[in-house]
Amino acid sequence: MLPYATVEEAAVALGRNLTAAESLWFSYSARKSDYFLYCHNILFLFLIFSLVPIPLVLLELARSSGLLRYKIQPKVRLSLSETLSCYRDVMRMFFLIVGPLQLVSFPSVKMIGIRTGLPLPSGWEILSQLLVYFVVEDYTNYWIHRFLHNKWGYEKIHRVHHEYTAPIGFAAPYAHWAEILILGIPSFLGPAMVPGHMITFWLWIALRQIEAIDTHSGYDFPWSPTKYIPFYGGAEYHDYHHYVGGQSQSNFASVFTYCDFIYGTDKGFRYQKKILKKLKEESYEKQNGGPYHNSTQDLKSD
Ligand SMILES: [Zn+2]
Ligand SMILES: [Zn+2]
């Protein structure tokens, strides 16, 4: 809810005319309560969980040989009914845990100072805050995830998320209810440390979930724009964690690779990549009688 009755009043308060984005925000939010605006997250999460993985499902059903080479575990194939069953479980958790959690967490959002008013944040402000949120989430999630791989944490809670040894997009939020609650902390910590505008908060919640769907997609596309994000883990990185399963002591981080590098928990992954690369080179040289040139002959398999 904005404390101005008209755009003119808002312009006087700001000491300048509203930008196009601010006028749009004014006409949309001026008469809506902050609580209602916050609850938009529920709709966004529902749409993201339901729609973003659909292209991946279609890809999986088509099994086009051209794209199959980008599937990280090509031998694993989930039927449509198995995929729908995963979606059903995720939706059950969404309506029982994620949605209600959003409904009741509004006081903390108010307390940390997420604002809904004018002026709107600049693009740089949004980008820098999102960067902080991702880094804080990644670091905190790393340690919680690592803790969940102790015997008790894994058996009682984290085992559920690892039911998919070859993850799919729909399985990104597939987890025990307690894990969903616990992992709300890293998501909330960044905005609590550097509170921003509600629009930044919406973007953060949406992008974090899209990122999780990407890392659980089961496909590693060389043309993915995320390849240009420094230290970004991506699908292949997290897929290895699921592939190894409960015994995994590798690749705990949710977004970036630097925590696993610093704390030495990416050794298994790096060793496997090295071995697969060597095998690929040997098989190429055996077949072609010549040396393997990585830049031109690299196929996705490492
Ligand atoms: Zn795990
Ligand atoms: Zn996962």
Q: Could you report the per-residue pLDDT of 131-180, keeping only the tens digit for each?
A: 999 999 999 999 999 999 999 999 999 999 999 999 999 999 999 999 99
CA 284 – CA 292 distance, rounded (Å): 6
CA 27 – CA 29 distance, rounded (Å): 6
Domain shared by 152 and 20, yes or no? no
190 in any annotated domain? yes
Domain shared by 3 and 74, yes or no? no
Quote the pLDDT of residue 143.
98
Quote the pLDDT of residue 291.
67
Quote the pLDDT of residue 241.
96
Domain shared by 199 and 55, yes or no? yes
Quote the pLDDT of residue 95.
96
CA 296 – CA 103 distance, rounded (Å): 52
For ligand 1, the distance from its centroid to the CA atom of residue 261, given in whole angstroms, is 17
Domain shared by 107 and 130, yes or no? yes
Domain shared by 14 and 156, yes or no? no
Domain shared by 117 and 16, yes or no? no
110 in any annotated domain? yes
Quote the pLDDT of residue 3.
86
For ligand 2, the distance from its centroid to the CA atom of residue 178, given in whole angstroms, is 15
For ligand 2, the distance from its centroid to the CA atom of residue 274, given in whole angstroms, is 23
Nearest to 206 by CA among 17, 49, 14: 49
For ligand 1, the distance from its centroid to the CA atom of residue 247, given in whole angstroms, is 9
Domain shared by 4 and 97, yes or no? no
For the CA of 146, the nearest ligand: 1
SS3 4: coil
Amino acid letter for position 3: P
In DSSP terms, 115 is beta-bridged to 197
Domain shared by 65 and 81, yes or no? yes
Domain shared by 195 and 118, yes or no? yes
For ligand 1, the distance from its centroid to the CA atom of residue 185, given in whole angstroms, is 17
Nearest to 205 by CA among 103, 137, 119: 137
Number of compact structural domains in the chain: 2
CA 116 – CA 40 distance, rounded (Å): 13
Domain shared by 21 and 97, yes or no? no
Range of the domain at 1: 1-32
Domain shared by 98 and 200, yes or no? yes
For ligand 2, the distance from its centroid to the CA atom of residue 243, given in whole angstroms, is 10
277 in any annotated domain? no
For the CA of 144, the nearest ligand: 1
281 in any annotated domain? no
135 in any annotated domain? yes
Tokens read off for 295: 């830049």
List the chain residues with pLDDT less than 50: 295-302
| R_g of the chain computed on alpha carbons | 22
pTM of the model: 0.90
Domain shared by 49 and 131, yes or no? yes
